[in-house]
Amino acid sequence: MLCTGRPENRSLVLGKVANIDLDRRSNFQQSFRLRLDIRPPHSTHPLSDFFLPLDTMAAYVRSTVDRLDRPSAYFSSRSKRHGRDRRDRDRDGDEDMKEPEQPPEDPLKDATTLYVGNLSFYTTEEQVYELFSKVGEIKRLVMGLDRFTKTPCGFCFVEYYTHQDALDCMKYIGGTKLDERIIRTDLDPGFEEGRQYGRGKSGGQVRDEYREDFDEGRGGLGRALQAERLKEQERARGETDYGKDR
C-alpha cells in the first residue's frame, strides 16, 4: 500500500488498496480526524474528482471477513436499555436517595402447614392422623375431597403448631409409605377454605384427569380418559346397530 500526503488539504492518498475494513473507518475518523477519499483503480482522473463522503464508501469498499467478535444483538439491546435506565436515574436524582425496597418475605419461612399428596382414595383421616402425629402435635387436618361427590380424592393438609414440627415431618415422614403408596410432603403457606376441593373437570385432582396408567388406589385410569373411551365405545356400538338395521 502506498500512502502520500497532500499538505494543502491535509488528505492522504492510499494506493493499491485491495479492501478496507469498514469497521475501522470510524477509528480513522475519530482518532486522526481524517476523511477517507476513494478513487477507482486505473483511473486517470484527478483525485479531486472522486472525493466521496464516508457514507457512500460502501459502494467501492468491501469487507472480505466478517467480524467474529462483534457484539451480539442481545448485548446491544441490553446496553441501550441499561443506558436509558441510567439516564432516567440521573434525571431523577432525588429518587436515588430513597431507601431501596425490601424484598418480599418468604411465605414458607415460618410455615406450619404441609400439603400431602399421592394418597390413596381409600386412606382414612384416622390413618393420616396416626402417622403424622408421630413427629408433633397436629393442630388441624383437612382431607382433600372430590368437588362433586365430597369423597377423598388423594391429598390432604396437615397443620402443626410449630414450624419445626413441620420441618421434622418433611424430614422423617416425607417419602415414606402409607397404604403401600409413597407419599409426598411440601410446605404450604396455609390452608384456606375452598382449597380442600379438587380442581379437575370431573371434581378430583387435575393429575387424575388424563392418567394413562391404571392406578387402583386412585380410581384406575384417568377420569377424563375413561369418559372419552366410553363415548368411543357407545359410538362404535351405535354404528354397529345401525349396520344391522340396514
Alpha carbons 27 and 12: distance in angstroms, whole number: 15
Q: Is the pLDDT of residue 66 over 90?
A: no
Q: Per residue in 128-162, pLDDT tens? A: 999 999 999 999 999 999 999 999 999 999 999 99
Return the higher-pLDDT residue of 5 and 212.
Answer: 212
Q: Closest Cα to residue 57, out of 21, 6, 10?
A: 21
Q: Is the pLDDT of residue 22 over 60?
A: no
**What pLDDT band is residue 207 in, cutting at 50, 70 and 90?**
confident
**What pLDDT band is residue 61 in, cutting at 50, 70 and 90?**
very low
How far CA 77 is from CA of 23, 73, 84, 192, 195, in Å, comes to: 19, 6, 11, 44, 44
pTM summary value? 0.53
Q: Closest Cα to residue 155, out of 186, 193, 111?
A: 186
Q: Per residue in 159-206, pLDDT tens? A: 999 999 999 999 999 999 999 999 999 999 999 999 999 988 888 888
CB 172 within 8 Å of CB 96: no
Cell of 30: 475519530
**What pLDDT band is residue 217 in, cutting at 50, 70 and 90?**
confident
Q: Which residue has the cell 413441620?
A: 166
According to the model, what pLDDT value does residue 79 have? 58
Domains annotated for the chain, with CATH where assigned, are 2-59 (no CATH), 113-196 (3.30.70.330)
H or E stretch at 113: strand 113-117
